[in-house]
Structure 1
């Protein structure tokens, strides 16, 4: 949750966040380190990509008729 909040507070809708360069991930990881989480920029990037992938997969699954609903 802290990763998502930090990502959002860094202006995810701005032009800077479209490609999310390494310096932005570094800034996000630095903010997380101040909160006590020892993570790197690439780890944050990977985690956010994984979260998005799982969200989209679950959403697509739930939109198909005949499937039992998945929660995530």
Structure 2
């Protein structure tokens, strides 16, 4: 799984919007969306800000055992 896929999965699992993360990065939602789809690279300082916004360590994205369960809101 690619870095941008892990970021997207984790953001969704935590119920965090792209708007919230883009504001932490001080970029537009459109620019952030391009990063989250792999169309634009994610810089080291951006990864640190994304990690902070999601409440995780940047290293978690490089853990071989990375596993995220999406919230099931059907209950």
For the criterion TM > 0.5, the same-fold answer is no
Larger radius of gyration: 1
**Greater share of residues in helix:** 1
TM-score by length of 1: 0.30
TM-score by length of 2: 0.30
